[in-house]
Structure 1
């Protein structure tokens, strides 16, 4: 046999094949780790912008003026895009805060001061006064009927992760695919 003749070896005994196979495995492992790390970073980025809304019945008598209010607070770490609001009394949707107080006192003519909540951006750490109650009768009526009332807010993060807050006797927040359509009748606030 001459020096120039090659002896055929099986591929698994050829050192260059083993080195190439090792390089491919290392490359695939490196890409897999990079993809997993990118996924974790993406999830962390989404969580760093999660809003978390709460509804607070504030009876702190705002500077001694005899006022009470319902406050929406963003206790999360990102802005909340409020996309849907509805008000329910005894499981039936209401068109306004005024309609709710008319249920408590039929024939009521005066209106309740309120803030527009629907289609607002609530930055983290900020609040909105949903309604401000100025009379002892309104405050008493709200307290007496609190278990009959449910106030729903659907809001989304800047990444379109949406949540539905159902605030009533107990506050429940659940993740939803998207915010619901308007109730019938639509809530005007």
Structure 2
């Protein structure tokens, strides 16, 4: 058997093909990394908190839903659970509170429903009431007793479920499939 020598041209051609395949693989991997970074750069994170300072010079109480993440939160569904019953709107829950008629004229509510967008860094006062006595009353009624569940999505259609009665922020905002 005679050995044939590999010509330089064939060797260069094989090297060029291998280099091209490697470059193509690296290009696809870079595109994957860029897409992953884009998704990570737009993650809204919802939080709720209670506040007794509703304006610069007024006291009272407000239950606030805030977007502390990156990018807007597009609301898909809202459920408010209070004493074993579910409500889809704070205006339906408030009349169920004992003594609610005494303070009804002092309460201001905001709608939080499907289709609403909470921009990055913005917040919505779900319910607020002016006055120290009235604020204390409302805080006792709902602060730790109302469970808020919000299903929301990012610009890239990633979905999360927020629940206000979770131990940590990671437990509160759970990604859905």
Interval containing the TM-score (normalised by the shorter chain): 0.7 to 0.9
1:165 is matched with 162
**Aligned-pair distance for 1:77?**
1.9
Which of structures 1 and 2 has the bigger CA Rg?
Answer: 1
- Take 1:56 and 1:20, find their aligned partners in 2: how far apart are those partners? 66
CA distances 1:65-98 after superposition (whole Å, capped 9, x unpaired): 3321111211112111112111012453124434
CA deviation after TM superposition for structure 1 residue 64, in Å: 3.7
How much does 1:106 deviate?
6.3
Length-normalised TM-score, structure 1: 0.75
Matches within 5 A, 1:87-98: 87-98=80-91
- Which of 69, 72, 75 is the matching residue for 2:65? 72
CA deviation string 1:131-163 (max 9, x = no partner)? 112353463343355333210111111111111
Q: Which runs of 5+ in 1 are unaligned?
A: 1-7, 178-189
Distance 1:115 1:175 in 2: 26
1:63 aligns with 2:56: yes
Matches within 5 A, 1:33-182: 33-105=26-98, 108=101, 110=104, 112-118=107-113, 119-134=115-130, 136-137=133-134, 139-143=136-140, 145-168=142-165, 170=167, 172-177=172-177
The 2-side partners of 1:165 and 1:60 are apart by 24
Question: Equivalents in 2 of 1:28, 1:163: separation in Å?
Answer: 38
The alignment covers a number of residue pairs equal to 169
Instruction: List 4+ stretches of structure 1 deviating above 4 A.
Output: none
| SS of structure 2 residue aligned to 1:165 | strand
**Distance of aligned partners of 1:155 and 1:141 in 2 relative to their CA distance in 1, 3 Å threshold:** same
Q: Distance in 2 between matches of 1:25 and 1:162?
A: 41
Q: 1:125 to 1:61 in 2, by over 3 A?
A: closer
Q: Which structure carries more strand by proportion?
A: 2
Q: Name the TM-score, length of structure 2 as normaliser.
A: 0.80
Change (3 A) 1:24 1:166: same
